[in-house]
Amino acid sequence: MATLGTGRQARRPKGRASERARLEGAASRVEVPPACDVCVVGGGAAGLVAGIVAAEAGARVVVLDRGAECGRTILATGGGRCNLANRDLAASRYVHPGFVAQAMGADPLARVLAFFEESGLFLTEEEGRIYPKSLSAASVRDVLVSRALRAGATLAPLRETRLVRRVAGARATDGSAGGLEVAFDELWAGGGWRSLRAGCVVLATGGTSSTARVGAAGRGTAQGAASHRLELEGLDVPRVPLEPVLCPLASDLAELACLDGRRVRCVATLERDGKPLMSEAGEALFRAHGLSGIVSFDLSRKAKAGDVVALDLVPGVAEGDVAASIRRLGARVALDGMLDPEISVVLASMRQGAAPTARLAKRFEVPVTGLAETERAQVMRGGISVDALSPETLEACGEPGLFACGEAVDVDGPCGGYNLAWAWMSGMAAGSAAAREAKSKADAGEEGLGGRP
Ligand SMILES: Cc1cc2nc3c(=O)[nH]c(=O)nc-3n(C[C@H](O)[C@H](O)[C@H](O)COP(=O)(O)OP(=O)(O)OC[C@H]3O[C@@H](n4cnc5c(N)ncnc54)[C@H](O)[C@@H]3O)c2cc1C
């Protein structure tokens, strides 16, 4: 036994090391051309779709990603099942709904479904949430990667983009802009610092790296936070500071220690100064230091320290009926009939009497002290300001040839497939507009673009 254990421990790191070596070998064999029409920075959900759409429109596309493989971020979504869209993709579910409505255009769901069906992905639906039929996020990633390769895009992983800037002197006299230079680091032993020229650049770096340094004025200037590693040199792209959303809520309510790990189907209402701000129905997960689960994630989009979450633990049951049942059977037995027994123990111990206990079941108050586990938030709010972008094309106003999509843009929605739907839709809009613009630049023979063979 001891030998087996030691052997396993010894083999695991070696397995990881050889996998890394394999991926580094594969990445280093990808040839990145010195020039292309459209360079997509970030090959996650939005970037892959932008790359596919641009390449299918005839553009020469390079997708640079700092990860070991493009599309890896998709694998963790939906608990590995990838909830890729929602039956109700109303723009009102997002921040900046007016912008989102214009950017997503008419009938976004039909276009998302058609895109994936054309990619060869079979789909299924659960309570309005759309998943791959395989219930495996890997299916989504795989069909996107293979469609991008079929379309002729160069997928170049292990390349971390550090700098995007306009090629010196390339702004044409007619006011249109020439090419952009994209400088990146090859992230393998012996890899170096490289750059390419592109007619257009699509920023699709997601929420965590958040694309660029934020200067004092919220611009893409050089004096920004050191943690942001991609600099948009000289490019005027206003951005909004980042904040995590879709994460648990923190609370110091003492009873939570006894409820840790219990789940309940409930209606949760976020209240500020005694007034309701929003309600969500669904599953809440009690944690010792707060509330998790999908409803809490959704409330985290608006919650602040000082708010209260009022949980209706028995939705659909009238308070009077709960009280009557308690009078007839006693609190423990009555509540056991409606709730997880561990939760009913806590409720029964908190109040004396049928009416107060029934009230507690209908309104269990959890004071909010802030957000929790923010380092694992599903989405970052903030990024490139929607005011800086054309809603139709997602091109930066005043910076021709520079586009953005996905979570790099200051757009977020609730749980349920909304954020990936935005990634796909915005990727399609940016990718097709970038291809159009790159083609018109190439036709005009602008500097910075390699000619077509
Ligand atoms: C655990 C988890 C589960 C989720 N589940 C769901 C779900 O089921 N449904 C849903 O709708 N949403 C879900 N989301 C949110 C969803 O994953 C994101 O909104 C979506 O992936 C955003 O797509 P994106 O392409 O903008 O960013 P990402 O998918 O994050 O891709 C960004 C890419 O850019 C690359 N990159 C970043 N910086 C650089 C750089 N400087 N140079 C080169 N490459 C760079 C990264 O490596 C990455 O591949 C989940 C999020 C998390 C964290």
Tell me the percentage of the chain whose pLDDT exceeds 90. 82
Q: What pLDDT is attached to residue 379?
A: 95
Residue 320 and residue 178 in one domain:
no
Residue 453 lies in a domain: no
Phi, psi of 408, deg, nearest 5: -65, -20
Residue 191 and residue 294 in one domain:
no
Phi, psi of 170, deg, nearest 5: -90, -5
Q: Which helix (H) or strand (E) holds 424?
A: helix 418-443
Residue 27 lies in a domain: no
Residue 448 lies in a domain: no
Residue 101 and residue 213 in one domain:
yes
Interval 75-91: pLDDT, tens: 999 999 999 999 999 99
Residue 18 lies in a domain: no
Cβ of 45 closer than 6 Å to ligand 1, yes or no, is: yes
Residue 257 and residue 234 in one domain:
no
Total tally of structural domains belonging to the chain: 2
Cβ of 404 closer than 6 Å to ligand 1, yes or no, is: no
Adjacent-strand bridge partners of 334: none
Interval 8-60: pLDDT, tens: 444 555 688 899 999 999 999 999 999 999 999 999 999 999 999 999 999 99
Q: What pLDDT is attached to residue 443?
A: 77
From 75, 298, 373, 378, the mutation candidate for ligand 1 (largest count of ligand atoms within 8 A of CB) is 378
Residue 227 and residue 101 in one domain:
yes
In this structure, the residue with its CA closest to atom 30 of ligand 1 is 206
Residue 297 and residue 349 in one domain:
yes
In this structure, the residue with its CA closest to atom 9 of ligand 1 is 417
Examine the pLDDT at 415 and tell me if it is beyond 90. yes
Write the Ramachandran bin of 141: left for phi over 0, alpha for psi from -120 to 50, otherwise beta. alpha
**Gap between the Cα atoms of 37 and 450, Å rounded:** 8
Residue 8 lies in a domain: no
Q: What is the mean pLDDT of residues 119-128?
A: 97
In this structure, the residue with its CA closest to atom 22 of ligand 1 is 407
Residue 307 and residue 364 in one domain:
yes
Q: What pLDDT is attached to residue 287?
A: 97
Strand positions, DSSP E, 302-413: 308-312, 364-367, 370-371, 379-384, 402-404
Interval 204-249: pLDDT, tens: 999 864 333 333 233 333 223 333 479 999 999 999 999 999 999 9
Tokens of 118: 């054309």
Q: What pLDDT is attached to residue 436?
A: 96
Q: What pLDDT is attached to residue 274?
A: 96
Q: What pTM was estimated for this model as a whole?
A: 0.89
Tell me the percentage of the chain whose pLDDT exceeds 70. 88
Residue 178 DSSP label: -
Residue 103 lies in a domain: yes
* Boundary (domain end) residue, out of 350, 374, 398: 374
* Boundary (domain end) residue, out of 355, 374, 393: 374
Residue 306 and residue 412 in one domain:
no
Residue 270 and residue 196 in one domain:
no
Q: What is the mean pLDDT of residues 415-430?
A: 98
Cβ of 205 closer than 6 Å to ligand 1, yes or no, is: yes
Tokens of 204: 């699709």
Q: What pLDDT is attached to residue 387?
A: 97
Q: Is 45 helix (H, G, I), strand (E, B) or coil?
A: helix
Between the CA of 262 and the centroid of ligand 1 the distance, in Å, is 29
Report the b/e string of 184-222 with b at 16+ CB within 10 A: bbbbbeebeeebbbbbbbbbbbbbebbbbbbeeeebbbe
Q: What pLDDT is attached to residue 442?
A: 75
Q: What pLDDT is attached to residue 352?
A: 80
Structural domain containing residue 303: 249-374
Residue 310 and residue 430 in one domain:
no
The domain that holds 198 is classified in CATH as: 3.50.50.60
* Least confident segment among 341-355, 383-397, 418-432: 341-355
In this structure, the residue with its CA closest to atom 49 of ligand 1 is 44
**Residue-averaged pLDDT of the chain:** 89
Q: What pLDDT is attached to residue 42?
A: 98
Between the CA of 255 and the centroid of ligand 1 the distance, in Å, is 35
Residue 91 and residue 140 in one domain:
yes
Residue 122 lies in a domain: yes
Q: What pLDDT is attached to residue 451?
A: 44
Residue 64 and residue 176 in one domain:
yes
Phi, psi of 337, deg, nearest 5: -75, -10
* Boundary (domain end) residue, out of 374, 391, 412: 374
